[in-house]
Amino acid sequence: MPQAVRALGYVSVSAESALEPTAGPQARAIEAACAARGWTFVGGVREPEPANGRGLERPGLEHALGRLQRGEANYLVVAELRRLTRSVVELGGLLDRLGRAGVRLLVLDLGIDTGTEGGHLAASALTTVGGWEHERLAERSRKGLAAARASGAAGRPAVSDRPELVKQITTMRASGMTLQAIADALNAEGVPTVRGGTRWRPSSVQAALGYKRRPRGTGPASNPKPPTGEGERWMPEPDTGPPNQGQRGSPVARGKGE
């Protein structure tokens, strides 16, 4: 008999954003996704991300991981991968930690569910290129473009010049990820486009894969001090409409305990 799913949500907002209006949509998306799958939502944690946008050493995240390791839930659900991490190195370490605890990860914006074969393959594709490889690839692209500009050579960079990137994108596509999902993942990592740009779009992913551009491409998807400590917890509400996140009298609690 399949194991019953108990899901724990995690939400983070940028350090510059107010917690209440930014965290609410993510939290509601997580609860809705759990309800649609028939999963038991056991609550979640929300907190501001580090000022530099990177790093897994966050009090709220550590609290959530601790609950998962204690067996309180067997799924971690996030609305956006970039709200969990923007580093493939960190993602790989986190997936390993979750795997050892028997916990799966669901990433809503990329449609990745590591509890499925396709989702596990997609997550593996995201972590194939380690951090040092990623930095080397980006730096080589920047140096090549700078040298071309300095010498007056205006030729466009060729896809064949970046085999590691083509392999990564091909693996992502083969795992079932959409063009938009691949673009979002590459943007989250800060990978330069084939032409040296800073923003991936579905059309640029197609170009990297060797597809001809279609007439109609896929478009891009669409200060109070936050609490510290273990992050701000939220709990599921009765089915009386969208949860009122973080307001006085709502089921959000701060600190330890259930």
CATH number of the domain that residue 89 is part of: 3.40.50.1390
Q: Based on the structure, what is the number of domains in the chain?
A: 2
pLDDT at 150 over 90: no
Domain identity same for 81 and 168: no
91 and 177 inside one domain: no
Q: Please check whether residue 10 lies inside any domain of the structure.
A: yes
In this prediction, residue 35 has a pLDDT band, given cuts at 50, 70 and 90, of very high
Full-model pTM = 0.57
Q: 200 in a domain, yes or no? A: yes
Q: Is 187 a member of any domain?
A: yes
- Same domain membership, residue 161 and residue 89: no
pLDDT of residue 181: 82
* pLDDT of amino acid 148: 58
Same domain, residue pair 203 and 228: no
Range of the domain at 196: 132-208
Convert the pLDDT of each residue in 88-144 to its tens digit: 778 888 998 999 999 999 999 999 999 999 998 888 877 765 554 555 555 666 666
Tell me if 120 is assigned to some domain: no
Is residue 47 domain-shared with residue 76, that is, in the same domain?
Answer: yes
In a domain, 214, yes or no: no
**Residues 97 and 37 both lie in one domain:** yes
Q: What is the pLDDT of residue 203?
A: 87
Together in a domain, 244 and 149: no
Let me know if residue 62 belongs to a domain.
yes
Residue 237 has pLDDT above 60, yes or no: no
- Say if 122 falls within a structural domain: no
- Does residue 239 share a domain with residue 190? no
**Interval 160-206: pLDDT, tens:** 667 778 888 887 787 677 888 888 888 877 788 877 777 888 888 88
Q: Considering the domain boundaries, does residue 228 fall inside one?
A: yes
Domain shared by 157 and 232, yes or no? no
Whether residues 25 and 67 share a domain: the answer is: yes
Rg (CA), the chain: 20
User: Domain check: are 104 and 227 in the same one?
Assistant: yes
